[in-house]
Amino acid sequence: MTTPALLPLSGRRIPALTPGASSFPHHRATLRLSEKFILLLILSAFITLCFGAFFFLPDNSKHKRFDLGLEDVLIPHIDPNKEGKLPGGQIIHGQGGHDEHRHREEEESLRNKIRADHERALEEAKEKLRKSAEELRAEIQTEKSKVAQDLRKQDSGKPLPPVPMPKVVGINDGDPGDPDVKEKRDKIREMMKHAWDSYRQYGWGHNELKPLAKKGHSTNIFGNSQMGATIVDALDTLYIMGLHDEFKDGKEWIEHNLDFSVNAEVSVFEVNIRFIGGLLAAFYLSGEEVFKVKAVQLAEKLLPAFNTPTGIPWAMVNLKSGVGRNWGWASAGSSILAEFGTLHMEFVHLTYLTGDPAYYQKVMHIRKLLAKMDRPNGLYPNYLNPRTGRWGQHHTSVGGLGDSFYEYLLKAWLMSDKTDTEARKTYDDAIEAIERHLIRKSNGGLTFIGEWKNGHLERKMGHLTCFAGGMFALGADGSPDDKAGHYLQLGAEIAHTCHESYDRTVLKLGPEAFKFDSGLEAVAVRQNEKYYILRPEVIETYWYMWRFTHDPKYRQWGWEAAQAIDKYCRVSGGFSGVKDVYSSNPTYDDVQQSFFLAETLKYLYLLFSSDDLLPLDSWVFNTEAHPLPVLHLGNITLPGSDARR
């Protein structure tokens, strides 16, 4: 029986059912198909030659000339007096019997040629039939490899247009000055090194790591492929921490091993935020061209996912065939708001770097379609059917399924150097509806963000929703009606609630979800909500709140979380999630998530660094914590952009 499994999607993540095993055909069946295919080819060639002989042999009774207009090339002209052509190539035509004699010789020559073709085809057919099954399979594999190699050469041969590199600042150092803070930062760096070295030793090339079993691990969001998700996700963290040897190892693996022509069905959202986001950030930080080239190659593989009646992309796409589909559990085959709404940042940068407007147009089309739709209570439901363009079930969440859609509206505005005012207005309207319908205070005075389900508010908040504290703080400046102070305060209240969810556990690590009713506040009730899988969202909010307020409690809270992770999640082979944060003897889930290196450790490192490391007026972080530079007005080359001085 298939059991529900939580799919630890990154950035903002989504629960899913684990699909069944992949159904590759048995190798014997594959062989039979290959043999039949070869025999059919041979027979078709033989029949073609026979029909060619029947229809195209010259008619002897009328001595007609066989003329394809290529005689100067294929049929030598015959001089009746001398053999061949006269000097200078002039052709002498004979008369009467001489013409007839010449025609006979031409016809005989053609007959001999066709006979020779017949014999050669028959010999090739016999040769094929004499070969063993293994030899035939090897031949087919060789031919397939050659075709794939040719295609790869074509892909890599496409030069990208030169574009002005956005000015990048604050990409290293960030020394906090205070020795105590520096010591904490060095500890975070050591934790990153342990996570990376363990992956390097036991899971290299696999998507993720099983730190207890000490072997590679993958989930259905990456299909059946070994695409090195942890390598791509960790690159920028390694770079800003100054771990340059480790960064170099990752770069070399990507250069020689990262291949997107694999028969794998992947999550468009996850591959976009982890792989494209990770590669683009690595490119901007290091200037290494290989990262840009790989990002563009992968982006081309994702574009077929948009081939739907509405232009709303499928959740999954096969990288080889381009065939897309949606998760079976998602409201009658709907696409998910947080997935199709979390493409804008990366796709705008792809258009900027390639000059190809397709990426920009795809995400702007999504925005325009959503702008035309009715929204119940001003809220965006989590599900949208890509075939009909209608909302699915009316469920709204700022946690899983909805979260990063709102985040990307704000960040589209920030990334455009605050010129994309349409994105900012859409964000402000959405947050106003969220505040009216979803944000409440508990009896104990904790501010929380509930979920709207079928007309009523569920008083539950997920760990994923805790990112919103940082989002409110980030969007405070530029709020309408002079509400900047209000939104900074709202961010602080969410940070406090999420800290309470950590502080009320035995391990001082937050549960996956927590409730605010029946006398229980900020506490998980169900067993399947008590786990912690190395998630970053609470620490992300601490970091944003630190940057905007410099209140020392955020560093204190971050250090508490770092110590708890190091104490309860660290094992000899890396870091693992735990199944129950309320148990003093927790069991491990045996997964080191790629987002632990991309997000959790990066946000902790930035929390204990000075503000001039990746300053927020120059960089915008995607939902997987990959920093992308602001595209200032002078650099904007997007189609239809009105960002001009």
Burial of 551 (0-12, 13-18, 19+ CB in 10 A): middle
Set 403, 420, 540, 624: catalytic member: 403
**Is 512 labeled as catalytic in the residue annotation?**
yes
Set 537, 540, 589, 599: catalytic member: 537
**Is 155 labeled as catalytic in the residue annotation?**
no
Conformation bin of residue 235: beta by default, left when phi > 0, alpha when psi is -120 to 50 = alpha
Set 233, 339, 512, 540: catalytic member: 512
In whole angstroms, what is the distance from residue 201 CA to residue 217 CA? 13
> Annotated binding site for Ca(2+), which residues?
623
* Phi, psi of 188, deg, nearest 5: -60, -40
3-class DSSP string for 89-156: HCCCCCCCHHHHHHHHHHHHHHHHHHHHHHHHHHHHHHHHHHCCHHHHHHHHHHHHHHHHHHHHHHHH
Sign of the C-alpha dihedral computed for residues 358, 359, 360 and 366 taken in this order: positive
In whole angstroms, what is the distance from residue 430 CA to residue 182 CA? 39
Of the candidates 355, 281, 332, 372, the one whose C-alpha atom is nearest the C-alpha of residue 620 is 281
Strand-pair partners of 325: 316
> Annotated binding site, which residues?
623
Q: Which residues of 310-348 are buried (b: 16+ CB within 10 A; e: fewer)?
A: bbbbbbbbbbeeeebebbeebbebbbbbbbbbbbbbbbb
C-alpha gyration radius of the chain: 32
Amino acid at the residue 180: D
In whole angstroms, what is the distance from residue 547 CA to residue 621 CA? 14
Amino acid at the residue 481: D
Residues tagged active-site: 270, 403, 512, 537
